[in-house]
Amino acid sequence: AILEVLQYPHKKLRTRSSEVRVFDAQLHAFLEDMHETMLARKGIGLAAIQVGVPKRILIINLPREEDETQHPEDRLEIINPVITHTEGSILWREGCLSVPEFYEEIERHANLTLAYQDRHGESKMLQASELLSVAIQHEMDHLNGILFVDKLSMLKRKKFEKEFKKALKSED
C-alpha cells in the first residue's frame, strides 16, 4: 500500500523514534509499504516516521551510476542503526520527501561505519561513502526528529522560511 508522507511542519516529524524489538511478518509488510511509498513519491530514502510510524527504521534505494535508475535488489533496509565511526566531511545538495521542492547544501561526514539490524533482526555492519553516507545520515536524523532544514545556516534558513511561506500562500 502507498502510505501518506507527512510534510513539514507536521509535529509528528519531531518524534524520537523507538527501537524495533519484534522482527515479524507485520514488520516485513510495513517495509514493503515503505518501499512502495518511496518509489511512488520518487524518493531515494525514507524513514518510518515520515509515514507516521515512530520506529527506528529507514530504507534507501540509490540509483545506479551506470543507468541512473533504482534497482529493487539494491534496496537497503536499516533497523536500529548506530554510527560507530565517521571520517571527513562532504557537502551535498539535499532534499526530503517531507520538505517538497526545497533543496540545499548540507555538510555531512564523508565516510561512516554503521551497525544495524536487518528485517530478521540479524546484526550487520556497513561502510558508506559519498551519497550513501549522506543518505544514511539524513535518514538517521529523522529517527531523532531532525530535518535537514534544521542544519541550515541562519541565512539559508531564512531563505527556506520565505519559500515555505510563499508556497503556503500559493495553495488554495
* CA dist., res. 38 & res. 156, Å (int): 27
81 lies in the binding site for ligand QAP (CB under 6 A): no
Q: Rule CB under 5 A: choose which of 5, 49, 78, 96 binds Co ion.
A: 96
Nearest alpha-carbon partner for 84 in 132, 145, 126: 126
Active site residues: 139
Q: What's the rounded Cα separation, in Å, for the pair 92 and 107?
A: 7
Going from the C-alpha of 136 to that of each of 61, 83, 162, the distances in angstroms are 11, 9, 28
Q: Which of 49, 55, 70, 92 binds ligand QAP (CB under 6 A)?
A: 92
**Near ligand QAP in 131-160, by CB under 6 A:** 131, 134-135, 138
- Mask of contacts with Co ion, 41-80, x by CB under 5 A? ----------------------------------------
Sheet holding 45-47, edge to edge: 45-47, 57-60, 76-94, 104-117, 123-129
User: Which residues in the 27-56 window bind ligand QAP by CB under 6 A?
Assistant: 42-45
| Footprint on this chain of Co ion (rule: CB under 5 A) | 96
Residues binding ligand QAP (CB under 6 A)? 42-45, 92, 94-97, 100-101, 131, 134-135, 138
